[in-house]
Amino acid sequence: MTNRLNELRIKIKTLGSSKVAKTMQWFFKTGKGEYGEGDVFAGLKVPTQRKLAKEFKDLSLNDLKVLLSSPVHEERLIALFILVSKYEKGDEKEKEIIFLFYLKNKKSANNWDLVDLSAPKIVGKHLLHEDKSILLKLSESKNLWERRIAILSTYEFIRNGKFDTTLKIAGKLLNDKHDLIHKAVGWMLREVGKRNLAVEEKFLKNNYKKMPRTMLRYAIEKFPEAKRKKYLQGKI
């Protein structure tokens, strides 16, 4: 362990709050059989973690790999924040290295916040103008978080007016059993609709009757009330 990494870990431990940690353990569903089972929290809020990521942005990939392997949630999130920063500031070669590093260590992004705050900004940005088949493959994974990485990475495509991959992955995840995927897909469909309502509605009209209820509710959240009711009642 390098001195800088040790310094960061000491700060995380010092700044942590047992009260905040207890709340986070409940919020991120760490109980037996829940999606975050066994996750450990130091008790730092996100703004504090962002400040620490900025302060320790010079950590090497080797140090970040150690953090990503940590059982402590905040250590993994801080590592991901630093990776995002390195990606954004890197040249093309550095971006490729960080993208591949992220994929190699993707098992460490094992809660929804870890995925949502990193995948679009690294995987999504890197694949914006590249082959996206890896996302289709991840969408078929048995691992919940890999499927969430697949759909959340398309957020960057949506921001750039590219909807095809989102819709393909949404179609593949229509029968997913997990609530966190239902929410993620519905959210991304809603984001598509913000940019092009016709595209979202075309997808919905073809699929809304077989969509999980949560997915549909998220997708139509911003629709006028009358239209929302028609979708929910199956009368479109």
Give tens-digit pLDDT for 38-74.
999 999 999 999 999 999 999 999 999 999 999 999 9
44: Cβ contacts below 8 Å, ≥ 6 apart: 12, 15, 16, 17, 20, 52, 74
Q: What is the DSSP string of 116-157?
A: HTTHIIIIIHHHTTS--HHHHHHTT-SSHHHHHHHHHHTHHH
pLDDT, tens only, 11-32: 999 999 999 999 999 999 999 9
1: Cβ contacts below 8 Å, ≥ 6 apart: 9, 63, 66
Per-residue pLDDT at 99? 98
Whether the per-residue pLDDT at 1 is higher than 80: the answer is no
Per-residue pLDDT at 2? 87
Tell me the two tokens of residue 115.
């995925």
Whether the per-residue pLDDT at 179 is higher than 70: the answer is yes
pLDDT, tens only, 93-127: 999 999 999 999 999 999 999 999 999 999 999 99
pLDDT confidence of 5, banded at 50, 70, 90? very high
What residues pair up with 40 in beta bridges, in sequence order? 72
